[in-house]
């Protein structure tokens, strides 16, 4: 009885404005844009006849993005700053692949007020130093580097030096 009353009440609600939903074949980038633009936590999914089929939550979308973008794989992250006119993905890929590594994921972001972009690259685990040296040789500006292995190795080296010092 309560469920019947709730259905009647919900059916009488007059939603103002455009109803936000996606179709079954919508790419997840468009779903992300909808979530972000309208500050939604869940997006309804409809078929071609506008019949409700389910929903996509922001947490499920984040999991899908993580799986497709290489976020869940090991490897360093390199952030480059470069002019829009200088952006050549083929050259960047050649630099990374010539050092026996692969691009696992990348995204770009325009830097407001400039003609530059920030390019974030997730690459497969490799000799990070060689990749960074090659980027420097090609005059790329390396803005940031994130690598758990490098940090662990630095901490281990510092620990080893401390132990050697204490043994003297």
In CATH, what number is assigned to the domain containing residue 46? 3.90.1280.20
Shared-domain flag, residues 56 and 85: no
61 shares a domain with 102: no
Q: Are residues 63 and 81 in the same domain?
A: no
The domain tally of the chain equals: 2
Percent of the chain with pLDDT over 90: 42
Torsion of CA 66, 68, 74, 78, to 10 degrees: -90
Question: Is 76 in the same domain as 145?
Answer: yes
Cross-sheet strand order for the sheet of 52-57: 22-23, 42-46, 52-57
Confidence bin at 7 (pLDDT 50/70/90): low
Q: What is the pLDDT of residues 102-152, one digit of tens each?
A: 999 898 999 999 999 999 999 998 888 899 999 999 999 999 998 866 555
Residues 105, 50: one domain? no
pTM of the model: 0.68
The enclosing domain of 107 has a CATH number of 3.30.70.260
- Identify whether the C-beta of residue 21 lies closer than 8 Å to the C-beta of residue 38: no
Flag whether 9 is in a domain: no
pLDDT at 126: 81
β-pairing verdict for 141-146 and 103-110: unpaired
- The boundaries of the domain holding residue 33 are 19-67
Confidence band for 20, pLDDT divided at 50, 70 and 90 = confident
List CB contacts of 14: < 8 A, sequence separation 6 or more.
none
């Amino acid at each position: 009885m309560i469920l019947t009353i709730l259905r009647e009440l919900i059916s009488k609600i007059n939603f103002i404005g455009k109803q936000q939903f996606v179709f079954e074949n919508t790419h997840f980038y468009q779903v992300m844009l909808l979530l972000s633009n309208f500050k939604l936590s869940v997006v309804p999914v409809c078929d071609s006849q506008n019949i409700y089929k389910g929903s996509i939550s922001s947490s499920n979308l984040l999991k899908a993005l993580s799986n497709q973008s290489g976020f869940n794989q090991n490897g360093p992250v390199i952030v480059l700053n470069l002019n829009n006119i200088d952006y050549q993905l083929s050259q960047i890929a050649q630099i990374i692949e010539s050092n026996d590594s692969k691009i696992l994921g990348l995204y770009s972001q325009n830097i407001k007020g400039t003609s530059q972009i920030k390019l974030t690259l997730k690459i497969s685990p490799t000799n990070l130093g060689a990749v960074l040296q090659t980027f420097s040789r090609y005059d790329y500006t390396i803005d940031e580097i994130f690598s758990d292995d490098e940090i662990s190795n630095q901490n281990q080296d510092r620990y080893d030096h401390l132990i050697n010092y204490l043994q003297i």
